[in-house]
Amino acid sequence: MTSSRLPGKVLMDLAGKPALQRMIERVRPARLLDGIVVATTSLVSDDPVAELCANLDVPCFRGDEQDVLGRYAGAARAFDADPVLRLTADCPMHDPGVIDAAIALFRNSGCDYASNAVKRTFPDGLDVEVMSLAALERSDREARHPLLREHVTLYIRGTRPDYGAGDFSRADLLNDTDLSALRWTLDTADDLARIRRFFAVLPEGFSWRDALARNAELH
């Protein structure tokens, strides 16, 4: 709730429902997903997030605001999650098909970490990361720099070796066409207006390809 660029963004209205609720509803149909846990902070300002989770019957784990890596590891341990799928709450247009593809890649490749967030070919706002619990816990033990604690998977991804990087095997989920220039993430007032246009005209349960077909007129 304390986003610096768009405070309260995760509960802002998208076609009559809070953004976080919209995202949860879009994520639930993923066939390879066993469950959903919202990992938020212990700050009073995030009490409304916990209240929404209670109303939706979605488990909520609360932890440190700055140590997001520790919060993720704590949530994974508390709910016996292995592997762990990471989605950020600023992606209300997420697609269950992309989630299933990432989980399938993780399983089939035998890697420690699979994602579409390192080599970007999907629209920004469909980011998905899958990692083994062992990789997450090792990262939690070894990563020390504040940047690595704030940005959960930097240590696993190895994209900031100047701050520290672990030796993990990785796999990339790639789209046939590079669509990484498209912005479907929720971070600014302009993003909110854009995403509201999509939810206003697309049917319930729309796929990301449905959104792509209307992108030129709605973006």
pLDDT tens per residue across span 28-60:
999 999 999 999 999 999 999 999 999 999 999
pLDDT at residue 116 tops 90: yes
The pTM for the full model equals: 0.95
User: Residue 195 and residue 191: Cα distance in Å, rounded?
Assistant: 6
Cis-peptide into 83, omega within 30 deg: yes
The backbone torsions φ and ψ at residue 212, rounded to the nearest 5 degrees and listed phi first, read -60, -40
pLDDT at residue 4 tops 90: no
pLDDT at residue 219 tops 90: no
134 within domain boundaries: yes
> According to the model, what pLDDT value does residue 3 have?
87
Predicted confidence band at 184 (pLDDT cuts at 50, 70, 90)?
very high
216 within domain boundaries: no
Question: Which residue, 36, 39, 26, is CA-closest to 206?
Answer: 26
> According to the model, what pLDDT value does residue 218 have?
85
212 within domain boundaries: no
Write out pLDDT tens, residues 11-26: 999 999 999 999 999 9
User: Could you tell me the CATH number of the domain that includes residue 37?
Assistant: 3.90.550.10
Q: Which domain holds residue 63?
A: 9-181
143 within domain boundaries: yes
